[in-house]
Structure 1
Amino acid sequence: MPRFFFHYRTDDDFVVDEIGQDLPDVEAAHEQAADIGRTMLSRALENGEKPNAARCIEIVDEEGVEVLYIVFWASASKPGTLDAEELLKPPTLH
């Protein structure tokens, strides 16, 4: 089973995943990254960070080759609002 690494990046930080996870394929890695993204976004919001700040997860394989780059952020339908439904939307892929 291939191993994927999930590096987390913001405008200010870059956190390298040195452990990685064994997953069956890129689709499973994408699902895992979406879960990680939701968790990281939830923590950022709990810490008072801006909901619309750009964040991404770079998924790389065992050779260090980038296989997916997922950008995500929270956005509110109305200015000044943010609800759980908005947070659970799938991340934007680039």
Structure 2
Amino acid sequence: MGRFYFHVRAGDEITLDEEGTELPDLSAAEDEAVLAARELLAEAIKSGTPEVSEVLVIADEVGRPLSTVPLETVLPRFLKK
């Protein structure tokens, strides 16, 4: 088990996840990031937000980036660029 942090990047701005989540491994963290990306996009659509974050950055306990999940990857195929 390890603590993973899901930072949200929008352009040059990063919103840090201060709490993190205990997960068994990076694969589980990537699955969680996909779910979080879907939730972020759904909230943006519901609220009519014109600008949406671009990427979730998965970091470990010391702040080292391990992986990224671009939000566009969770869009249905017909909505992708």
Query: TM-score by structure 2 length?
Result: 0.80
Number of aligned residue pairs:
78
Q: Partner amino acid for 1:71?
A: P
Q: What are the within-5 Å matches in structure 2 for residues 24-39 of structure 1?
A: 24-39=24-39
Runs of 4+ in 1 over 6 A off after TM superposition: none
Instruction: Kindly state the Cα deviation for residue 54 of structure 1 after the two structures are TM-superposed.
Output: 5.7
Equivalent residue number for residue 23 of structure 1: 23
Distance 2:49 2:38 in 1: 14
Larger relative contact order (C-alpha < 8 A, sep ≥ 6)? 2
Shift in Å at residue 76 of structure 1? 6.8
Structure-2 residue corresponding to 1:7:
7
**Within 5 Å, which residues of 2 pair with 1:1-94?**
1-11=1-11, 13-50=13-50, 55-73=54-72, 74=75, 77=78
Specify the alignment match of 1:90 in structure 2: none
Inter-partner Cα distance in structure 2 for 1:76 and 1:48: 21
Give unmatched runs, 5+ long, in structure 2: none
Give the number of the structure whose alpha-carbon radius of gyration is greater: 1
TM-score, normalization: structure 1? 0.70
Q: 1:62/1:48 Cα in 2 relative to 1: closer, same or farther (>3 Å)?
A: same
Gaps of 5+ in 1: 87-94
Aligned-residue RMSD, C-alpha: 2.4
Q: Which has the higher helix share?
A: 2
Contact preservation (8 Å) 2:56, 2:70:
yes
Q: Distance in 1 between matches of 2:70 and 2:32?
A: 14
